[in-house]
Amino acid sequence: MNPINEFLVATLQLLPKPLVKRFAMRYIAGDKLEDAVRAVKTLNGKQMMATLDVLGENITTKKESRMAVGACEEVLHAIHHHRLDANVSLKLTQFGLKIDEEFCYSNVRSLLEMAKGYSTFVRMDMEDSGATSATLKSYERLRSEGFENVGIAIQACLRRSEDDIRRLLPMKANIRLCKGAYIEPEAIAFRDREEIRFNFLKLLKMLLDAGCYVGIATHDAALVEGATEYIRQNHVEKADYEFQMLHGVKIRLRQKIVEEGHRLRVYVPFGEQWYAYSIRRFKENPRLAWTVLRSLFSRN
């Protein structure tokens, strides 16, 4: 992050949380599960699917992990009860990955068992590069144990991702392909925007050609155009992929995707850990920080 952007994010962190929350809630459904259910019902009414995510990562105690498991169980119950067209996203550090990998695995496995009973899909999201290998290991183990209701995310910015995908192709993995939100060293990640775009489309073509189901997760209009063109030229069935976008981001673009007949899923985060998530989003996209500061200035 350049010095100006660092200054912007640092400035936002000095503001009172209630003030930041006014703007952060554009990208977050709310504090409570009922807020998220309401948001998903609205999306479903617009012919959009959803992914529910209970905010929280990098927990430090097993007690916190068990609380996270309980919160996700409530999400699975709610999806079933309200008949939502939605699945669940998990970050493994929320379930104890950095405390005890076996403990984390048992937590995730128990959630998958419950989700399986509800015929609900669960996505293992990808975090910073320090968690990549362990996340892939857990995914492969779950698939080897017969779980078909689980997918994983791959970040196009990481140089290792092509090799990771080649490992996953034989099992026809269900993959959420995204650019990658974490700032990583150049030695392990592409940093140039065009390099990341090129790798994203390269990996997408590999996955589609191999018959893997792909969640094309991007707000980049150039990548959306490149993906739709490849899908059209190669006659990819609409049931074999979906586009994915974040709640509150690029509303017009997501509507255009739906109007053109593509499946689209919106990532709906919620929970009491909204502040940490919001600051990370501002770090990922400093333009959001500019927007918040300009809005504050115009209101004064």
Q: Which residues carry out catalysis?
A: 125, 176
User: How many angstroms separate the CA atoms of 90 and 61, rounded?
Assistant: 17
User: How many angstroms separate the CA atoms of 288 and 293, rounded?
Assistant: 9
User: How many angstroms separate the CA atoms of 206 and 230, rounded?
Assistant: 11
Within 179-229, strands assigned E span 214-217
Q: Are strands 122-124 and 86-90 parallel, antiparallel or unpaired?
A: parallel
Which residues make beta-bridge pairs with 265? 49, 244
| Rounded (5°) CA angle 77-216-256 | 95
**Residue in 247, 268, 264, 224 with CA at minimum distance from that of residue 48:** 264
User: How many angstroms separate the CA atoms of 148 and 142, rounded?
Assistant: 8
3-state DSSP assignment of residue 173: coil
3-state DSSP assignment of residue 232: helix
C-alpha count within 13 angstroms, C-beta hemisphere, residue 18:
0
The backbone torsions φ and ψ at residue 98, rounded to the nearest 5 degrees and listed phi first, read -90, 0
User: How many angstroms separate the CA atoms of 289 and 2, rounded?
Assistant: 13
The DSSP line for 251-276 is: HHHHHHHHHTT--EEEEEEESTTHHH
**Element holding 104 (H helix, E strand):** helix 101-117
